[in-house]
Chains A and B, each alone.
Chain A
């Protein structure tokens, strides 16, 4: 079945440094959604990308969808301690009898003040 891998699994940065997580799928992605899960919390929706090559920004976060729709990335500029958590990408299927998310393996971000 489909596998969605994220690298790195874990990253530790100093506050103010940049951070990037990469999401790679073994098959073509339908739509890509990104979620953030704080320690002890639940996934919180960040954004959805739909089109090949799409780039979206949310303040310090930049999301990109690959041209071939097989990968995506999330870049955080100048990390803050509030960015701590696990970032998941998810292939999002909509339509007909199939509505589900196939989650990536996640990247745990630790930010040292």
Chain B
């Protein structure tokens, strides 16, 4: 079956701009989680959506937001970009109810803020 699709793969933005990243989960998966990966902070949980509802949010400022559509596709948005937002943003697809198969990650979007 098709994997997790994230678009775009690479993005360069200027400080102060906003950006929207997209994630299409595995067919049938209703949970989409987002993670930020940086060399300094490692992999950090941003938020999780399940059936169009945000169920949990990590410790990130309100500039980071997201949503999920009825087809389970998810978008995350970062407004007023800062240099420190440069990172690999990963989305993870899951059943949302616990699985021995874990989460399936997309290839990520590499965001560079200049």
| Interfacial residues, chain A to chain B (CB-CB below 8 A) | 1, 33, 35, 41-48, 88, 90, 92, 94-95, 97-106
Contacts and interface: CB of A to CB of B under 8 A. Distances in A.
Nearest to B33: A100
Contacts of B58: 100
Given A48-B102, A95-B98, A101-B33, A43 B43 contact: yes
A103 B90 CA distance: 13
A98 B42 contact: no
Contact of B102 (A45, A95, A102, A106): A45
Contacts of A1: 59
A105 B56 contact: no
Interface stretch (B14-22, B67-75, B79-87, B105-113): B105-113
A59 to B, nearest CB: 18
Q: Is the interface of A mostly helix, strand, loop or mixed?
A: strand
A102 B41 CA distance: 12
Interface in B28-68: 31, 33, 35, 42-45, 48, 50, 55-56, 58-59
Contact of A100 (B42, B56, B97): B56
B48 A43 contact: no
Given A43-B43, A105-B42, 11 more contacts: A35-B105, A42-B90, A45-B101, A95-B98, A99-B55, A99-B94, A100-B33, A101-B35, A103-B35, A103-B43, A103-B44
A103 B3 CA distance: 22
